[in-house]
Chains A and B, each alone.
Chain A
Amino acid sequence: MKCSRPSRTKQRFGNFGHRPAYSCAKLFRTISYPRFHIFGLTKLDIHSAKQVGPRHGSLGDFQGLLNAIRSFNGAKVARLLSLDNEAQRLAVRQGSSPNGTLPESALRYIHTRTCGLVHDCKEHWAVVLRSHYLCLAALLSNNHDQAFLHMADYISDMNSIFREENGAWMVPVVTQTAEALRLLANKADEQLLSQRQHQCRKEAAGSWLQKFYSTAKTLKGNQNKSMALLPVVNTMFKLYFKLNTLRNCKPCIQAVEHPNFSFTSFPQSERVTYKYFAGRLAIFQDQLAKAEADLEYAFNHCPADAWHNKRLCLYFLVPVRLLAGSLPSEAHLAAFNLQIYIPFVQAMKSGSTQQLAAALKQHQVELIRKGVYLQLVKLQPIVMRRLLKRSWVINREGNEKGHLLPLGQLQKAIRWQQMDMDEDDVECAVANLIHKKYVKGYISHKNQVLVLSKADPFPAVSAQQI
């Protein structure tokens, strides 16, 4: 007798065609799966599922991940693909072997389930998810190098998904993967260093990040995908600064500072990070006005409680401000643990060339490594100007011709500070001050006298262009 409605089995599990519904229902009742969709499974898939069955929990919320992909939920996909997701880590740790591998059945299951998605990029997703779980398993066994290699295996596929998918839902996934790739490359290189091998993972990570960068930059038709550009650029900056390949940063800056780029539409954290690195690069290129603007932006837009980030911004902003003639207070420097600059401020206030030279020598290594050494060396004319001004003040007391300053007097003042400069050196230094407009006047070579202007002989340093 034909039923008017489908049997319970058919209601629950659908129609299997030639297979008796009862045997399939019995089969699936033996497997403790959560809700799943079994439409289209083959014999092999059912066999695999039976093999993996007790270990399905080793993949964590794998179904949730598939659902998020199906529903284009980028935030959830990023969260579940995060290497720091504790629930996923716990599940994989339980299912993986001690040497950091997953059973073949689990990998087949991942492949099968992912290919069962109704999705245009399911093949790419299959590679991504498979390699992600292998990466996680290797990471949990502290094999960072192998974990990096697994992650590198799926970058290309993830980039293809990013490129082919409509909408910007992949942006959180891409930005999170880029950052994870960078961190993993650092750890992998540390591991290789401990094994006395050649460290090359960071360089490889840079090449992989270029793929994301190129896709985000050159996408046509969907401008929302460019929301991944600034975060990826920031990740690349962090990597290139670590690798010390600073010239690779130039194309990134050109892309971000293009007039059509909507900088303000990005989160504040990304903007601050970008301005910080751009400011540092401007210092290396002697573009001090740009450096000051960028670092000041980064400093002002840091959250109030982000003391460490503010300190980083100030570390590079202070030398630029000193060159502009703007001196910070010692209390302000101490508050941010920047006592390294206090001797420079004191030297500028007192005109002590000796103190400046001593400070440069004492902190030479650190300042060179940070890239601000040459900027601080440029303080020498400013300190010399201050010394000259003090000599002039002393000279003009009770002296009608106070605007005539003998160069020998300046030389004595310099020698008193145990600095060795002969007459020619002093004359050339003063000529440079006049040329730079720090001093108004002229030199009489015959009389060895500096003839100062009677009106404002020492214009403010801040009035000069840095």
Chain B
Amino acid sequence: MLCRSPDVTISEPADPSRPHPAFPCHGGIILEVIKTLRCPSACSSSGGNMQRNAFSRTPDLSPGMVRTPMALGKTMIHLASLLDAPGTTLQSLYIFISDRYRAVRTDIQAQQLSSAETCFWLAQQARFHAWAQHELCEQSEGGPCSKAFTPGDYTVTDIELEAEITAYQLLLLVTSGMSRQEVLGPLQSAVLSSGHVSIALRLQSAFALGDGLAYLALIREAPYLVQCLAHQHAPAMRCIALEQLAEAYPPSRGKFGGAMPLSWLAHALLLNSSQQAAAVAVAAGFHLDDHDRFHAQKGFKAADVPAMPKEAKQHLMVQQRADCISRMSLQPLSANLQFRHPEMSQEPEAVSQLSRLAL
């Protein structure tokens, strides 16, 4: 918006170790100073063209009117540090941070910034949203805002970063062929032939083919953030995978029949444990024996079973999650966060391991 920017302390470098001064409350969360808007037209402006026309390539670098790239950079670091803010839920943090990220994108668009730093911020925002898509999947059906993945009028000059953002965008559009083509059509060749886009397209093709086993296998091999986004369709694809197993494996009779281990089922369906696999097998009408084995039953149809609930934490993804957090340059998640893997709460060393991951 065309307004006095929030005061993100331009005059002196911020010392990360020094706590911020007292901020006024914003919805009960003490996170940022917001000055009174002084520009009368700001509240009614719709952004976009008006801002672009006024501020494109402006020589005016006064922090009072527009956030300079340096201010935007400090804002990004400050927002990343908020994930460690005590006494807040991840959901409320997400709402605030995504809103502030949107404001940063608006500033980038209004000033038509296209430096390497800007590309990195856009990629960071896309990664944050991809990460949150999985962390909050149990909380909301709709999922976080997907606008962060739409480059819009920004110019992303880094091919690798553009490919990464495009891959995340494709994974959100897995069910819409027209939207997928709208995304892919105008991209340059280097982006289209990149590894990021290739794996996103492989996931899309598995989804389009209705091959649940292949889709889950691709998730298993994918990078963590790709897993986060692809995981939104994992429950539906598990149902299809069970249907595939029911068709392809015989009931237990004859010398070619026989039970299969639940560990194999857990691996194939990307489940956390054999116990979880047993629950899934029972829901699909499969029979269990006493030796942690199951027998497939014909006649199971994916539509017969309601979609399985989404799970925020996959055991197989925990280690990758830790690596990803360190690579994303986010502050380590503190032990006070309310979203914790059930297994992590029983294994405090896993939490402390995460906490030890420092920037």
- Which chain A residues have a beta carbon within 8 Å of chain B's beta carbons? 244-247, 250, 281, 283-286, 364-365, 368-369, 371, 373-374, 377-378, 381, 424-425, 428-432, 434-435, 442-447, 449, 451
Contact = CB atoms under 8 A, between A and B. Distances in A.
B193 A432 contact: no
Contacts of A244: 181-182, 185-186
Interface residues of B, number: 38
Contacts of A286: 177, 208
B250 interface: yes
B185 A369 contact: yes
Given A286-B177, A377-B202, 11 more contacts: A244-B181, A284-B181, A377-B201, A381-B211, A425-B217, A428-B268, A434-B244, A435-B247, A443-B248, A443-B249, A444-B257
A378 B214 contact: no
A429 B214 CA distance: 7
B260 interface: yes
B193 A281 contact: no
Contacts of B256: 442, 444, 446-447, 449, 451
Contact of B184 (A285, A368, A425): A368
B177 to A, nearest CB: 4
Given A285-B177, A377-B201, A446-B258, A369 B192 contact: yes
Contacts of B319: none
Nearest to B186: A244
A13 to B, nearest CB: 56
Contacts, number: 102
**A contact patch SS:** helix
A444 B193 CA distance: 39
Interface of chain B: mostly helix, strand, loop or mixed: helix
Contact of B182 (A247, A368, A374, A425): A247
A425 B202 CA distance: 15
8 contacts: A364-B192, A364-B198, A369-B185, A374-B204, A378-B205, A431-B213, A431-B249, A432-B244
A445 B182 contact: no
B287 interface: no
B249 A435 contact: no
Contacts of A430: 248
B185 A442 contact: no
Contact of A444 (B211, B217, B258): B258
A377 B215 CA distance: 14
A269 to B, nearest CB: 26
A424 B268 contact: yes
B249 A442 contact: yes
Nearest to B207: A374
Nearest to A449: B256
B220 to A, nearest CB: 10
B45 to A, nearest CB: 19
B267 A424 contact: yes
Contact of A284 (B177, B204, B245, B258): B177
A434 B248 contact: yes
B179 A432 contact: no
Nearest to B191: A365
A285 to B, nearest CB: 5
Interface string B289-304: 0000000000000000
B162 interface: no
Nearest to A442: B250
Contact of B178 (A284, A424, A428, A443): A284
A281 B178 contact: yes
Given A245-B182, A247-B182, A374 B247 contact: no
Nearest to A374: B205
A279 to B, nearest CB: 14
